[in-house]
Chain A
Amino acid sequence: MNLKRHLALTRAGIMESLQYRLGTAVTLFANLIYLVLVYFLWKAIYASAGTDVVNGMTFTDTMIYLILATALFNFLEMFVVWDMSRSIQSGKIILDLLKPMNFRTYTFWSYSGSHVVLFALTFVPTFIVVMIVTNGAIPMGINLLYFVIATVFALIVNFSMEMIVATICLYTESTWGINIVKETIVLLLSGASIPLAFFPEVFRQVVEYLPFRAVYDIPLTILLEKNGTDTLEGLLPMFGLQLAWCVILTLAGVLFWNHSVRKITVNGG
């Protein structure tokens, strides 16, 4: 694999993201306000609960979890589905397919640049602020490394899901509908809007084996060293789950994509 060529895409992506300087500043600011909303809501919720710990989560835990989930969300968010539907409508998809690089690889590396920028501009600052404000609530050790690894896995799982949904767009013009279904399911079942710890027992047991959890919940659980992830025995199943979904979803995505593209070329799309 020609890494240099791929990194050129990353570099182009970084440069493109930086062009939108005002946009970036506004994004940061809007995020901050969003976090303030989250803070007030949960402060009121905990104040009304009367106890400090609910389902093993203190107010600080919940806040860190949700704030970092939002930061992760911003950093992981991709518009593959929208891009795909637009390039299908404009016919640009044909050009994309003709590029001397596998379409999936091309898309992945094109996005990598904006991922790098967003990670540096949204996630890292948020993380530092949260770290300082909560004053030692985030364990600082080897878990940081594990967290980064888990995030890379999360990125791959997220990308695979995006690609699968984007492939569906080859069959229907209803991008909005497809996309909203995906977004809704991911946000709810990954723990991005409410920590999975609050879910009712039966529901949670099911959700824990689904791929959505690999995107937000696992990296954050590892970061906060919850659920026994401070030990290797606790950690390995988490990574195992992520890895398994990476493989399954990538494979499923590639097969689905190839099958669909063949169908299009046959029908002359």
Chain B
Amino acid sequence: MENAIVMKNVCKDFKILNRHEGLKGSIRDLFSRDYKTISAVKDVSLEIARGEIIGYLGPNGAGKSTTIKMMTGVLEPTSGDILVNGVVPYKERTKNSEHIGVVFGQRSQLWWSLPLIESFRLLRDIYMVPKKEYEDMLELYRSLVDIEPILHKPVRQMSLGQRTLSDILAAFLHNPAIVFLDEPTIGLDVSMKSKIRDLIKGLNQEKGTTVILTTHDMGDVDALCKRIVIIDEGKKIYDNDIDHLKSYFGSYRTLRMRLSDDTWEERVIDESKEDVMDIIMKKQKEQKIKDIQLQEISTEEVIKKIYEGGN
């Protein structure tokens, strides 16, 4: 079966004006033609199978949004090929958008002053969703989350969590093949986060929707993604299973020891270089150890290491 998304050697450059500092610099910029080229995405190739949930990660300014914008047809790549559902997104933006759903950051795409149900009805008409499919989808929504309290509320009166929920529901409404979620849980409280993760997972399982998830929250990644792609400074630096990622840094573990004075000592151990038992024994000669814990390194810490250039 053909892949949901195929990217081949995609690059994207931006031309921006070289600005100078200070008041004098500002005046000079008034006449300056001094542009510089910034490569936001460098030679990225990627294949995403149908039904996958992919974590698309990277530090701020790494080129995540630019990639998403190219996949959704908003930006044209400088070079390289992109196929989304077999469509070149930039050339056929309208056709492409029939089969994708997008939730972009905290920007609501719903009609600000309309109750959610009216936004749904408008979207149903815009995407020409058959009545039956629409009803089924609403039924599915009801089974996954409690939508009744927000259904008749104007979006402008909603809390951030309710708004995010609404935006995600709206993005899935026309049963798209692919949904792009850009930081869907940003700024939400713990219970809302898990609610939203459950919803995404449920929709993915029920509808087989491919989900591209960009986030800074490793909780999202752990809960949802099997595979992650990491991009930094425009380059793809990691593309594999999340388990593999841990084995990538798998030789690292955190050793915690409770000492005689009831304090916990903590250290990260690289097992390829030192042995856990050695360390414990060495310590035990100095003082009594009451308890030990051995923890797998968290995704969060792995990612941090990768961002910091521990490649």
Contacts and interface: CB of A to CB of B under 8 A. Distances in A.
A15 B23 contact: yes
Interface in B1-36: 19, 22-23, 26-27, 29-31
A23 to B, nearest CB: 11
A19 B23 contact: no
Contacts of A21: 29-31
A18 interface: yes
Nearest to A24: B30
A11 interface: yes
B300 to A, nearest CB: 30
Contacts of B29: 18-19, 21
A220 interface: no
Interface size class of B (residues with CB under 8 A): under 10
Interface residues of A, number: 7
Interface in A1-55: 11, 14-15, 18-19, 21, 24
A19 B16 CA distance: 13
Contacts of B23: 11, 14-15
A162 B118 CA distance: 38
Contacts of A24: 30
Contacts, number: 17
Nearest to A20: B30
A15 B22 CA distance: 8
Interface string B174-194: 000000000000000000000
A12 B172 CA distance: 45
Nearest to A12: B23
Contacts of B22: 15
A19 B31 CA distance: 11
B160 to A, nearest CB: 12
B32 to A, nearest CB: 9
Nearest to B30: A21
A116 B31 CA distance: 19
Contacts of B30: 18, 21, 24
Contacts of B26: 14-15, 18-19
A176 B272 CA distance: 68
Interface in A58-117: none
B243 to A, nearest CB: 42
Nearest to B21: A15
A21 B29 CA distance: 8
A23 B26 CA distance: 14
A24 B29 CA distance: 13
> Which one of B19, B22, B30 has the highest number of Cβ atoms from chain A below 10 Å of its Cβ?
B30
Nearest to A11: B23
Contacts of A11: 23
A18 B26 CA distance: 6
A102 to B, nearest CB: 25
Interface in A147-199: none
A49 B29 CA distance: 49
A130 to B, nearest CB: 24
A234 to B, nearest CB: 40
A19 B30 CA distance: 7
A11 B22 CA distance: 9
A10 B30 CA distance: 18
Contacts of B27: 18
A224 B27 CA distance: 33
Nearest to B28: A18
Contacts of A18: 26-27, 29-30
A47 B163 CA distance: 63
Contacts of A14: 23, 26
B105 to A, nearest CB: 15
A24 B31 CA distance: 12
A86 B29 CA distance: 29
A154 B78 CA distance: 52
Nearest to A89: B156
Given A14-B26, A21-B30, 15 more contacts: A11-B23, A14-B23, A15-B22, A15-B23, A15-B26, A18-B26, A18-B27, A18-B29, A18-B30, A19-B19, A19-B26, A19-B29, A21-B29, A21-B31, A24-B30
Interface of B: 19, 22-23, 26-27, 29-31
6 closest residue pairs by CB, A with B:
A18-B26, A15-B26, A21-B30, A18-B30, A15-B23, A11-B23
17 contacts: A11-B23, A14-B23, A14-B26, A15-B22, A15-B23, A15-B26, A18-B26, A18-B27, A18-B29, A18-B30, A19-B19, A19-B26, A19-B29, A21-B29, A21-B30, A21-B31, A24-B30
